[in-house]
Structures are given as C-alpha cells and as structure tokens.
Structure 1
Amino acid sequence: MDSTRKSILIILAFFSIYCIWGSTYLLNKVVVSEVSPLFLASIRFFCAGILIFGIAKILKISLKASTIQLKNSALAGFLFLVYGNGVFVWALKYVDSGFAALIAATQPLFVIFLMRILQGSKIQTKSIIGVVLGVIGMYLLVSQDTLQLDQNGIIGIVVIFTCVLSWSYGSIFVSKADLPKNFFVATGYQMVFASLFLVIFSLTVKEVWTSPLKWSINAQGAMLLLIVFGGIVAFTAFNYLLKEVSTEKVSTSAYVNPVIALFLGWYVLDEQITKQSIVAAVVLLTGVYFINSKKKIIIFSRFKRKKLQNLKK
C-alpha cells in the first residue's frame, strides 16, 4: 500500500472513531429508552458480526483464524465490547451521565501510564499536556450540570473506572496481539464473541427481552445505524488504527466523541449550547492536537539545547 493511500485511510479511520462514535451517544439514547442495555449491546454486536462475515464471504476474504487468534479475539471482544461498553452502559443507572463522561475522558491518561508500566514507553511532554487539556476540557463540558449520586453511586463510579481501564488495556493488548490479519475479519470475531458474553450477562442479571418487531420505528432505525456505522465501520476503523498509529493517539476519541455528541444533541434534540460548552470544545480539540502532533514543542526543545550547551561548557 502506497503512503498516500495509507494516509487517506488513516484520516478516514480517525473520522470514523471521532464522528461516528460521537453520534452513538444519541443513537444509544434512543434505543436504550425501550431496550435493556446488555440485551441491546448483544443484538447490536451479533448482527454486526454476522454481517461482517457475510460481506467477507462475498468479497472472498478468508475467515480462517488460528486457535490463538480466536482466543485473542474473544479477549479483545470482552475488554472492549462487553466490559468497556456494555457494563459501562449498565453502570449509568447509578451515576450521572455527565460525571461518567468525565471519568471516560481519563482513558488517554490510563493508556499512557499503562504503556509506561507494561511496555516501558517514554511519556512525551506533549502527550501529558494533551491529556491534561483533555481532562480540563471535559470537566468544563460536564460541570455545567449538577452531578447527583444516590447511595449506589460509589459502586457505579468504581465500575466505570474499571470499564475505562478495561478499554485502555484492550487498546494496548490489540496493538500487539496476534489477531486475524484482515481488520474486517478481526472485528467480526470480536463482535460475535462479545455478543455471546453479553447474552450470558443479560440472562444472569435477568434483563427484560423484547422483540425488535415491537420497538418503535425510531428505535429500529437507531439500532440499524448502530450496527452498520457504529459497529461495522467505526470499530473496524478502530482496530485498523491500533495497528497503524500509536495507542495514545487512537484514545483521543474519548475527548472528541462527547463534543460531537454535544453538537448533535443541539442539532437533533434542540439542546442548548452554552459559551462554556464552546470553550470546552476548543480546549478538548487543542488537547487532541498536542497528542496527535508530530512536531516537537519548541519551548522545551530550546530548553534542552541550552541545557546541553551549558553542560558542554
């Protein structure tokens, strides 16, 4: 693959995890008002996984995977889609959604420090600045609402932190794991395994199951978009990026998604956007720039040069 085509694919992939995943806040809100969260996720990922396998067959893409690749796919599906996504939605029953979004914004920080602990990776100054700006921006975004926690709130907070940790570790794991070489197929296996786990969890907590035929047209339409775009397109892009760019750059979607959700809420649901929201969006995107930028921070590079010159003297 030539460098130009690869660059275009990376840009499109980032667009997918930034904008498409940002829209899933709105879509999930529509569906979860009628459908139990774990049951919702199991249907979403099962349908997406089966569609991926069907498309792969039509395109004559091999579905073969070794035993270790299947095991890794099952683990990745659990870390991302079962715990990182499904359990997160379940925990929202006990925690204010704004506060949950603030916790989720710590994902890039989790990724950077996990990479430091597990891989010995050096934490770059611009990455730290980007993470700090991201957390500040997210705080500005959600602090406009009064965060109220009931007596079960502390449990919800702990669970959400573990969900963010699960997604962060999953990002690092997938970047190095032996998975099916085709990103499309790898995504399909992760989704099918995740759907099986989610069905088991849904039955365990005794969720109410309702036939999709009984859902409203809005819920059915939202689910279709979640399956095709939120699942197949965006998650395949996510798996692709984890193999092509640094994990901390991929994790910046945790900052951009809430901003996209904010503006979609304004456009679709006529929700008010305040000046503080706009400032928060600017701070968030600036944080993303610092993490994604390949340029060195001039002020620090000059400082290092002067320090070296003084040592030579």
Structure 2
Amino acid sequence: MSQAPKTALVILAFFAIYVIWGSTYLLNKIAVTELPPFMLASIRFTTAGVLIFIICKVLGKKISITRRQFLNTVIAGFLFLAFGNGVAVWALKYVDSGFAALELSAQPLVVLILMRILDGKKIKPMSMVGVGLGIIGIYLLVSQKTITSQDNSVIGMIMLFACLLSWAYGSLFVSKANLPANYFVNTGYQMLTSGFLLFIGSFLFGEEWSSPLSWTAPTQYSLILLILFGSIVAFTAFNYLLQVVSPEKVATSSYVNPIIALILGWYFLDEQITFQSGIAALVLLTGVYFINTSKSLAIPSRFRRNKKIIPRPRI
C-alpha cells in the first residue's frame, strides 16, 4: 500500500475510534429511552456477532477455537459486554450520556488500583499523581447538586462504578487468558455469547420485547449505527491502528471519547455541561493521561502481549 492511501486509512481509523466510539453514549441514550437496556444490548451484540462471523467466512478466516478459548471468551464477554456494557446502558436511564462517558473514563485508574491489589504491581510516582487527580476529578464530577438531585442519579452512578470494576477486572483477565489469536474472531465470540447472556438477563428481569418495526425512527437508526459502526467498524479500526501505530497513540481515544460524548449530548439532547463538570473533566482526564503514559506506568509484558493495550469501556 502506498504512503498516501495508508495515511488516509490511518486518519479514517482514528476518526472511527475518536468520534464513532464517542458517539455510542449518545446512541445508547437515545435507544434506551424507548427500549429495555438488556434487550437493547442483546440485540446489538448478537447481531454484530453474527455479522462478524459472516465476514470471517467471506474472508476465509478460521473461526474454530479450543474449549478453553471459548470459555475464556464467555468470561471476557460477560465482564466487558454483558455486565460492563449492559449495566452501563441501564445506567443511562438515570444519568446523562456525557456524565457516563466521564465517569467511565476513570477506568485506567481502577485498573491500576486492581493491579496493585491483585498482582502486587508497584505504582510509580507519576502514576500516583494520576491516581490522585483521578480521585479528585471523580469527586468533583459526582458531588454536583445539579446531578445528585436528579431522580435515581445516585443509582446510575453506582451502576457505572460497578461497570468500571467489571471492565477493569476484565482487562486484567484478558491480559493473561488464552483467547483466540485473531482479534476479529475473538470479538465475534465475545459479542455472540454476551448477547445470549443478555437475552437471559432480559428474560430474568421481565423485560418486554417488541418488534423493531414498532420502534421510533431515532431508536431504529441508533441501533443500526451501534451495530454496524460502534461494534464492527470502530473495533476493526481499533485493531488496525494497533498494528500500524504505537499503542500510546491509540490510547489517546480515552481522552477524546468523553469530550465527543459531552458535546454530542449537549447538542442533540440538551444535556447540561456545568462549569464544575468542565473542571472535573480536565482534572480527571489529566489524571488518566499520567496513568496512561508509558513513562509513568511500565506495564508488564503480559499486559502488552501482541501490542495489546488495556481496553476501555465502550458502551
């Protein structure tokens, strides 16, 4: 591939992980106002998983995996998608999409703390600065009276924090687990199995399913965009970038996604961006930057296998 097309492809890929992933908060917020959360997530991931396997067959990719790999994809799918995503979408019933994006951006902070607790990983001085800033940013974010006074907002915050824990532990799990070598196949199994788990959860919670033909147009478009772009295009772009640029550059999406989510939520849903939220975002994302920099956090080789970076919550 010549330099010009490759450069254009890299730019398009960054646009995908910056803007498309940043927009998923808005799209989920639109859809969950009409649809039950587990039903919404189940349809999204099951459909995306099936489409991924169809694409794999067309491309001649081998999709057979071992029993251990299948079990590990089920566990990873539960931690990242069934619980980590399903509950986060549920939380959007109670909090703004921009708020959710900011709270979930603290995931590297939680990963670092879990690495210390579970693996005895020493936290370096610059990472300690990031942890401190992250804690301050989270406090500034969740302590606003304009937010805590909203109905069930505290429940939404707690649900998002539970998702943070699930994603953080899942990040540590996949760094050590035996998973399919092909990222696309790995994702297909995670999405398909998590879609099934979410279907069971939807049934247990008594959610009422409805035909897509009865949904409003914004909900229909939101789910289509979540499946095709949020689940397939952006993830493909993410893995492509991991092969052609440094993981640290790919990780910059952690700082851009919440900003995109805040802007889109404000523009399309009239979500309020307070001065305190702006300060919280600045402090929190600065803390995430300190934690993500290679100099401040020397991640062991097992956490960077095949140039893989610790995944972030994408809802």
After TM superposition, the score normalised by the length of structure 2 is: 0.76
- Which range is displaced more, 18-27 or 129-138? 129-138
Alignment CA distance shift 1:285-1:90 (3 Å): closer
Which moved further from structure 2: 42-51 or 11-20? 11-20
Within the alignment, does 1:125 sit opposite 2:125 as a pair? yes
User: d(CA) in 1 for partners of 2:9 and 2:145?
Assistant: 37
- CA gap 1:270/1:106 in 2 versus in 1, 3 angstroms: closer
More deviation, 283-292/51-60: 283-292
Superposition map of 1:156-171 within 5 A: 159-171=159-171
Summarize the alignment of residues 1-313 of structure 1 with structure 2, pairs less than 5 Å apart. Answer: 16-91=16-91, 96-97=95-96, 104-141=104-141, 143=144, 145-148=146-149, 159-235=159-235, 253=254, 256-271=256-271, 273-295=273-295
Query: 1:90-132 CA deviation, whole Å, 9 max, x = no partner?
Result: 3555x54587667545422221121123323221222232233
CA distance in 2 between partners of 1:205 and 1:274 (Å): 35
Alpha-carbon distance change, 270 to 146 in structure 1, aligned in 2, over 3 angstroms: closer
**Matched residue type, 1:146:** I
Give the paired residue count.
Answer: 289
Deviations 1:273-312 (A, max 9, x none): 4544444443344333322333469xxxxxxxxxxxxxxx
Where in structure 2 are there 5+ consecutive unaligned residues? Answer: 1-5, 298-315
CA contact (8 A) 2:130 2:291 kept: yes
Task: Give secondary structure in 1 for the equivalent of 2:84.
Answer: helix
Shift of 1:145: 2.5
- Give the partner amino acid of 2:80: F
Distance 1:296 1:124, change over 3 A: closer
Specify whether residues 139 and 24 from structure 1 end up closer, same or farther in structure 2 by C-alpha distance, changes over 3 A only: farther
Q: Would the alpha carbon gap of residues 252 and 133 (structure 1) be closer, same or farther in structure 2, given more than 3 Å must change?
A: farther
Structure 1 segments unaligned to the other structure (5+ residues): 1-5, 298-313
Moved more, 287-296 or 38-47: 287-296
- The alignment partner of 1:145 has SS state of helix
Alignment root-mean-square deviation, CA:
3.8
Which letter does structure 1 place at the counterpart of 2:179? L
Tell me the TM-score normalised to structure 1 length.
Answer: 0.76
- Give, in whole Å, the separation in 1 of the partners of 2:172 and 2:48: 23
Amino acid corresponding to residue 121 of structure 1 in structure 2:
K
Instruction: For 2:149, give the aligned amino acid.
Output: Q
* Residue equivalent to 1:306: none
- Give the C-alpha shift of residue 62 in structure 1: 1.1
C-alpha separation in 2, matches of 1:241 and 1:114: 27
Question: In structure 1, how many angstroms separate the alpha carbons of the residues matched to 2:20 and 2:195?
Answer: 21
